[in-house]
Structure 1
Amino acid sequence: MKYAILAFSLLLGLSCQSKNNKKEVETAKADAPKLILSPAALQEYETAYFASGCFWCVEAIFESVKGVKEVISGYSGGTEKNPTYENVAYGRTSHAEAVEVYYDPKTISFQELVQVFFGSHDPTTLNRQGPDRGAQYRSIAFFKNDREEKVIRNYIKALEKEMVYDSPIVTQVVKFDTFWKAEDYHQDFERRNPNQGYIKAVSIPRLNRFKENFPTFLKEEGAH
Structure 2
Amino acid sequence: MMMRSHLRFVIVGLLFFVGCTSVKQDLESRNGFTVLPAPQKNEKVANFAGGCFWAMQECMLELKGVRKVISGYAGGWTKNPDYTAVSAKNTGHAESVQVYYDPAVISYEQLVSAFFYAHDPTQIDGQGPDLGSDYRSIVFYRSPQEYKIVRAVMDKIEHNHSYADPLLTELKPFEVFYPAETGHQDYYRIHSWEPYIRRVSKPKVLKMRSHVSALVRPEYLH
Q: Closer, same or farther in 2 for the Cα pair 1:133/1:62, shift >3 Å?
A: same
Taking the aligned partners of 2:22 and 2:156, their CA distance within structure 1 comes to 41
Q: Is 1:42 equivalent to 2:49 in the alignment?
A: no
Q: Closer, same or farther in 2 for the Cα pair 1:163/1:206, shift >3 Å?
A: closer
Taking the aligned partners of 1:147 and 1:68, their CA distance within structure 2 comes to 20
Q: State percent identity of aligned pairs.
A: 40
Report the RMSD for the aligned CA atoms in angstroms.
1.9
Partner residue in 2 for 1:66: 64
Partner residue in 2 for 1:5: none
Instruction: State the TM-score, normalized to the length of structure 1.
Output: 0.80
Partner of 2:79, secondary structure, is: coil
Taking the aligned partners of 2:187 and 2:202, their CA distance within structure 1 comes to 11
Partner residue in 2 for 1:154: 152
| Structure-to-structure mapping, 1:168-183, within 5 angstroms | 168-183=166-181
Q: What displacement does 1:221 show?
A: 2.4
Q: What displacement does 1:162 show?
A: 2.9
Runs of 4+ in 1 over 4 A off after TM superposition: 37-41
Taking the aligned partners of 1:200 and 1:117, their CA distance within structure 2 comes to 20
Structure whose CA Rg is larger: 2
Partner of 1:174, secondary structure, is: strand
Q: Is 1:87 equivalent to 2:77 in the alignment?
A: no
Q: Closer, same or farther in 2 for the Cα pair 1:32/1:113, shift >3 Å?
A: closer
Which residues of structure 1 form unaligned runs of 5+? 1-30
Partner residue in 2 for 1:144: 142
Taking the aligned partners of 2:140 and 2:185, their CA distance within structure 1 comes to 21
Taking the aligned partners of 2:37 and 2:206, their CA distance within structure 1 comes to 32
| Greater fraction of residues in helix | 2
Taking the aligned partners of 2:24 and 2:182, their CA distance within structure 1 comes to 14
* 190, 193, 207: which one aligns with 2:191: 193
Partner of 2:122, secondary structure, is: coil
Q: What displacement does 1:36 show?
A: 2.1
Q: Closer, same or farther in 2 for the Cα pair 1:127/1:221, shift >3 Å?
A: same
| Structure-to-structure mapping, 1:105-120, within 5 angstroms | 105-120=103-118
Taking the aligned partners of 2:38 and 2:138, their CA distance within structure 1 comes to 27
Taking the aligned partners of 1:63 and 1:70, their CA distance within structure 2 comes to 7
The residue identity in structure 1 corresponding to 2:70 is I
Q: Closer, same or farther in 2 for the Cα pair 1:151/1:198, shift >3 Å?
A: same
Partner residue in 2 for 1:97: 95
Partner residue in 1 for 2:163: 165
Which residues of structure 2 form unaligned runs of 5+? 1-20, 29-35
Q: Closer, same or farther in 2 for the Cα pair 1:32/1:149, shift >3 Å?
A: closer
Taking the aligned partners of 1:32 and 1:154, their CA distance within structure 2 comes to 35
Q: What displacement does 1:75 show?
A: 0.2
Taking the aligned partners of 1:82 and 1:71, their CA distance within structure 2 comes to 19
Taking the aligned partners of 2:80 and 2:25, their CA distance within structure 1 comes to 27
Q: Closer, same or farther in 2 for the Cα pair 1:96/1:37, shift >3 Å?
A: closer
Moved more, 156-165 or 172-181: 156-165
Partner residue in 2 for 1:219: 217
Partner of 1:221, secondary structure, is: helix
Moved more, 108-117 or 212-221: 212-221
